[in-house]
């Protein structure tokens, strides 16, 4: 393979549909900015990152969509179809022939697919696990005790409840798994592969040993390979070794040409391991090992073990509360057992049943199930909004996000350069000189690099300026190219030797301004332009002026004559701009209105960053990366207050994220390139934009599958709705638990009375099962970030629980509804009152507004939740009315209990609203309040630009940050054992074993490894 910079190397074509490959080209320019901050940069091309290797395939089976239509639809968003020809070099030599389809099929039958076989849990195992956990075990013990006491009625009822509970849990968990599997089916990985003598796009899972594949910068290595020929690659091996320094990998061809070549070292020096990232370089590789036989495949067990179930911020806080309540209930149960056996001399078996009832009442049976179903529904919704959630915890955490950091190139901007012909600077000026300079720039561009943003922009502008593509190509073709030297990151320029019928022999160069004016001794074709020293001052001033208005620049120099030692003259500066995405300004405005501060972190030049930030309404307080070091308290305050940073390195991006997290903020990060991956992995919410590199996708929690950033705001809104649903259920369930435990304890301690175990089991089962529709309840996204607070949740739960307990004990103590006068009647009335009151409580917990004001959407429950609650109440009323399982209660008294509980709900809700009006959010469990809307941009200013964010937005951001600092604990304080507890207290014990990642192999293992580098 020809070396970088040769004519053949420069003619390599990127894979069809790879989108904006030039994002990393521009980052090559940004590197130059960092080396010389006094000027903006020119451009060229680095190894172009592959952007279609993880594809979101259209799974629609709609008959009206023909394959051609689907193809156009997918190509518009940078996707590919498996089996299409790939526009990559075929390579030379016998080793490049690859395999035939028949050979590949035979090897695949013997070796298996290139994947880690997922441990898909059979349905009967999933069903069996519904009988494992605290709640099922309590029911099993209760059934066993009832059988031992020969109470066969209770035994049959408890056994039936156990089976019903298991079937409901199995059904909901199975639906949740199907939802996640549907998301996974949309994520496929592909790579250009030599099959039957042609490079075609092939699924990664179909690779076999012996296949020849083509990799370039930005790719995740899909299998253990050896580099046959191509550029020297820089490979990030952190996923396997934790080593932060990229490793250099030479091709076998280059290695064997080295005088110091040793055959015994070849295997080690040419190896590329599955799951690693190609950061720079491109070339053909031969697959050596696949699937479980790869290094990362053999470590898959360690990765899974290290990753396990990762609890989100909200889930962690909730399980802290649940654990505290359960521990208190267990202490109370031990005290009750001691009082009944040691003090009141009751039988141990009878006392144990009472204690068992107390414990059953304290366990939130459906909590894990509701969380799982809610997350799955949210992930499915986000998929419809063109955002694939790869880690479900992100749906919890993005609701709490208070800061969003974003890369610029390709994220906030289109990564599509546009030339402004009118702004071209030439010596002497004049329109003819500008046209001639643009023509020279077109000659020094490579039409084969269809996705190079610089060449693409220059050629497009040339076609338009020269009278259309056909006429322009005719003019350009008059310059017969004798030799073309392509761009590389070292020399940062292209050079073409050509012959023109009128102008004779010419040498034309296009590239970084300084590298065209005076190349220095950089190993390339070197020169110094005529009058370089005098001209340099003027060029620097002009370049700076263009950069302040957001332009990148390309220099053009021309020399007349034959040979390398031609006197070059600097001819022109060609300005071009990467415009913001169409929806960037609106999305930034909406995100800031949602109380989320937004910061730009870019490697681009400071002036360009400031101008871009101004255009998108982000603010102009953009600082250079030099302000990030050395670390100090003042530096941290600067990071908090700045609108962003320019000329940063990948480590600088990660440092910004760390500082913000250490201040107690929940940080999101958006990006698209290899250099964004460390920050994406560090942030609580990593978001890879549409057409991002594989490295960015592997590190992200959410992958956008359509152009633009609007899906980020959709994710914020949906996440806050999910948060509201979970908070309402948790608040309801803990309050109900407190009420049940307090009532049972008071009855035992104060009245020496015991509620039958069957009543408590009915309470636990009916009330929790009827709450499952809360996972899809109507919810309104709050106007501010939702910061989970354990004290707030406990305070609200205890207030609700104490008030509900007071209502129950008032009814019991007064014996108002005495009925037939039997103690059993009194206890049946108490049970029915608790059951109905607890069911109705969800209507108060789910909204900060008044429960009866159903005309406001925020107060209106979903039809399914309302019907479920009402059916649960009707069921227990019928059981009491007909005396089935419950002592018979008169219909009149049942009506009175309904009226009593509805009146109690109204009084309780009025108290909630009254306290809220006074500014005391004691019963709102830390709800952020307000309603998040899809705000439109405000009025336009004098420049025609929409106005800046309102004072309300700024105030809300300040409040959000203050609330975050007060309530959000640091990320590293989260304990993993709470996550285990959350999935063991209920019947859905099998839920934890499944990974939250929806990425295909090997990207799922790489993503897990990045989060657990110490696991190897």
Q: Is 410 left (phi over 0), alpha (psi -120 to 50) or beta?
A: left
Please tell me the number of Cα atoms within 13 Å of 285 on its side-chain side: 36
In angstroms, rounded to a whole number, what is the distance separating the alpha carbons of residues 833 and 840? 11
Pair 578, 417: CB distance under 8 Å: yes
In angstroms, rounded to a whole number, what is the distance separating the alpha carbons of residues 180 and 342? 52
List alpha helices for 313-366, DSSP H: 313-338, 348-362
Q: Which residues contact 290 (CB under 8 A, 6 or more apart)?
A: 111, 112, 113, 114, 207, 208, 209, 223, 224, 297
In angstroms, rounded to a whole number, what is the distance separating the alpha carbons of residues 31 and 489? 9
Two tokens, residue 887: 């002592």
In angstroms, rounded to a whole number, what is the distance separating the alpha carbons of residues 837 and 819? 20
Pair 377, 544: CB distance under 8 Å: no
Pair 212, 193: CB distance under 8 Å: yes
Q: Where are the beta strands (DSSP E) in 619-749?
A: 622-624, 644-646, 667-671, 685-688, 702-704
HEC string of 586-649? HHHHHHHHCCCEEEEECCCCHHHHHHHHHHCCCCCCEEEHHHHCCCCHHHHHHHHHCCEEECCC
Give the position of tokens 């700045």: 642
Two tokens, residue 1014: 């110490």
Two tokens, residue 54: 């993880």
The Cβ of residue 565 has, within 10 Å, a number of other Cβ atoms equal to 10
The Cβ of residue 261 has, within 10 Å, a number of other Cβ atoms equal to 12
Coil/strand/helix, residue 197: coil
Peptide bond into 630 cis (omega under 30): yes
List alpha helices for 815-950, DSSP H: 823-845, 863-882, 891-917
Question: Which are the catalytic amino acids?
Answer: 407
Two tokens, residue 651: 């480590």
- Closest residue by Cα to residue 662 from 641, 636, 681: 636
Coil/strand/helix, residue 736: helix
- Closest residue by Cα to residue 673 from 656, 653, 655: 653
**For helices 891-917 and 823-845, angle between their N-to-C axes, nearest 10 degrees:** 40
Two tokens, residue 833: 């009152």
Q: Which secondary-structure segment (H or E) carries 800?
A: helix 790-814
In angstroms, the Cα distances linking 545 to 30, 136, 553 are 18, 72, 11
Q: Where are the beta strands (DSSP E) in 637-739?
A: 644-646, 667-671, 685-688, 702-704
Using alpha carbons only, give the angle 231, 232, 234 rounded to the nearest 5 degrees.
120
- Closest residue by Cα to residue 329 from 649, 742, 748, 733: 742
Written as one string, the DSSP assignment of 81-128 is -TTSB--S----SGGGG-B-HHHHHHHHHHH--SS----PPPHHHHHH
Pair 42, 555: CB distance under 8 Å: yes
Two tokens, residue 742: 């307090």
In angstroms, rounded to a whole number, what is the distance separating the alpha carbons of residues 291 and 111? 9
User: Backbone phi, then psi, for 142, in 5-degree steps?
Assistant: -65, -40
How far is C-alpha 206 from the geometric centre of its chain's CA atoms?
27
State the chain's maximal CA–CA distance in angstroms: 117
């Amino acid at each position: 393979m020809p070396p970088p910079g040769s004519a053949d190397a420069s003619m390599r074509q990127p894979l069809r549909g790879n989108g904006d490959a030039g994002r990393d080209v521009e980052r090559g320019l940004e590197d130059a900015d960092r080396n010389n901050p006094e000027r903006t940069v020119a451009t060229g091309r680095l190894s172009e990152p592959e952007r279609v290797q993880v594809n979101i395939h259209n799974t629609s089976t709609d008959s009206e969509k023909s394959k051609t239509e689907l193809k156009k639809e997918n190509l518009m968003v940078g996707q590919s179809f498996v089996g299409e020809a790939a526009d990559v070099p075929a390579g030379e030599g016998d080793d490049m022939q690859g395999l035939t389809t028949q050979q590949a099929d035979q090897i695949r039958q013997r070796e298996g697919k290139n994947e880690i076989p997922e441990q898909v849990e059979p349905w009967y195992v999933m069903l069996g696990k519904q009988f494992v956990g605290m709640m099922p075990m309590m029911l099993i013990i209760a059934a066993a005790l009832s059988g031992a006491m020969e109470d066969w009625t209770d035994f049959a009822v408890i056994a039936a409840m156990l089976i019903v509970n298991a079937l409901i849990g199995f059904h909901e968990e199975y639906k949740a798994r199907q939802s996640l599997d549907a998301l996974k089916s949309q994520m496929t990985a592909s790579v250009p592969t030599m099959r039957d003598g042609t490079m075609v796009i092939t699924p990664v899972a179909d690779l076999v040993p012996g296949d020849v594949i083509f990799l370039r910068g930005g790719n995740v290595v899909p299998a253990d390979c050896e580099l046959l020929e191509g550029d020297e690659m820089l490979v990030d091996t952190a996923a396997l070794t934790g080593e932060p320094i990229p490793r250099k990998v030479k091709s076998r061809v280059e290695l064997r040409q080295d005088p110091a070549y040793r055959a015994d070292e070849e295997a080690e020096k040419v190896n590329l391991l599955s799951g690693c990232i190609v950061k720079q370089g491109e070339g053909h590789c031969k697959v050596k090992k696949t699937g479980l036989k790869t290094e990362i495949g053999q470590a898959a067990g360690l990765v899974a073990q290290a990753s396990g179930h990762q609890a989100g911020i909200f889930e962690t806080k909730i399980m802290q509360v649940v654990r505290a309540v359960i521990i208190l209930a267990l202490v109370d149960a031990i005290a009750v057992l001691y009082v009944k056996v040691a003090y009141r001399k009751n039988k141990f078996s009878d006392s144990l049943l009472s204690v068992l009832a107390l414990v059953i009442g304290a366990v939130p049976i459906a909590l894990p199930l509701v969380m799982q179903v809610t997350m799955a529904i949210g992930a499915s919704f986000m998929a419809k909004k063109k955002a694939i959630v790869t880690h479900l915890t992100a749906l919890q955490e993005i609701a709490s996000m208070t800061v969003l950091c974003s890369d610029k190139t390709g994220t906030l901007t289109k990564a599509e350069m546009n030339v402004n012909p009118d702004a071209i600077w030439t010596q002497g000026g004049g329109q003819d000189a500008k046209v001639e300079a643009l023509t020279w720039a077109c000659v020094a561009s490579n039409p084969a690099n269809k996705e190079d943003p610089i060449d693409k922009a220059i050629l497009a502008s040339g076609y338009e300026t020269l009278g259309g593509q056909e006429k322009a190509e005719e003019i350009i073709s008059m310059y017969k190219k004798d030799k073309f030297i392509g761009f590389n990151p070292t020399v940062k320029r292209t050079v073409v030797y050509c012959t023109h019928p009128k102008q004779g022999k010419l040498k034309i160069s296009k590239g970084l301004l300084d590298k065209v004016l005076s190349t220095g001794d950089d190993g390339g074709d070197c020169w110094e332009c005529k009058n370089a020293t005098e001209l340099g001052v003027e060029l620097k001033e002009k370049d700076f002026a263009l950069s302040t208005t957001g332009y990148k620049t390309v220099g053009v120099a021309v020399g007349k004559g034959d040979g390398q030692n031609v006197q070059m003259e600097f001819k022109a500066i060609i300005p071009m701009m990467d415009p913001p995405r169409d929806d960037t300004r609106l999305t930034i405005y909406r995100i800031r209105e949602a109380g989320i501060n937004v910061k730009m972190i870019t490697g681009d030049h400071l002036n360009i960053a400031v101008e871009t930030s101004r255009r998108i309404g982000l603010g102009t307080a953009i600082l250079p990366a030099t302000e990030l070091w050395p670390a100090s308290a003042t530096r941290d305050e600067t990071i908090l207050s700045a609108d962003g940073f320019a000329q940063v390195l990948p480590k600088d991006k990660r440092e910004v994220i760390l500082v913000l997290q250490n201040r107690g903020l929940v940080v999101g990060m958006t990006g698209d390139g290899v250099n964004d991956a460390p920050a994406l992995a560090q942030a609580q919410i990593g978001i890879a934009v549409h057409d991002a590199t594989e490295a960015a996708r592997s590190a992200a929690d959410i992958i956008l599958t359509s152009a633009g950033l609007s899906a980020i705001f959709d994710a914020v809104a949906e996440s806050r709705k999910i948060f509201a649903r979970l908070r309402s259920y948790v608040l309801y369930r803990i309050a109900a638990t407190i009420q049940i435990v307090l009532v049972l304890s008071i009855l035992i301690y104060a009245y020496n009375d015991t509620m039958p175990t069957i009543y408590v089991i009915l309470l636990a089962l009916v009330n929790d099962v009827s709450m499952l529709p809360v996972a899809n309840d109507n919810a309104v996204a709050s106007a501010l970030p939702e910061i989970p607070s354990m004290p707030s949740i406990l305070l609200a739960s205890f207030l609700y629980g104490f008030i509900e307990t007071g209502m129950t004990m008032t009814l019991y103590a007064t014996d108002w509804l005495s009925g037939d006068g039997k103690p059993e009647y009194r206890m049946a009335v108490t049970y029915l009152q608790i059951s109905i009151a607890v069911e109705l409580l969800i209507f108060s917990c789910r909204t900060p507004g008044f429960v009866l004001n159903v005309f406001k959407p925020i107060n209106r429950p979903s039809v399914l939740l309302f019907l479920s609650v009402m059916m649960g109440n009707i069921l227990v009323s019928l059981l009491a009315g007909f005396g089935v399982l419950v002592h018979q209660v008169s219909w009149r008294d049942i009506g009175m209990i309904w009226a009593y509980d509805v009146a109690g709900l109204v009084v309780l809700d009025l108290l909630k609203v009254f306290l809220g009006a006074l500014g005391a959010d004691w019963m709102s469990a830390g709800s952020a309040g307000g309603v998040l809307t899809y705000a439109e941009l405000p009025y336009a200013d004098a420049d025609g630009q929409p106005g800046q964010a309102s004072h309300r937005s700024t105030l809300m951001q300040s409040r959000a940050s203050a609330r975050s600092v007060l309530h959000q604990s640091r990320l590293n304080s989260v304990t993993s054992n709470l996550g285990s507890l959350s999935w063991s207290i209920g019947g859905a014990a099998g839920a934890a074993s499944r990974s939250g990642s929806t990425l295909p192999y090997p990207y799922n293992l790489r993503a897990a490894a990045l989060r657990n580098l110490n696991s190897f």
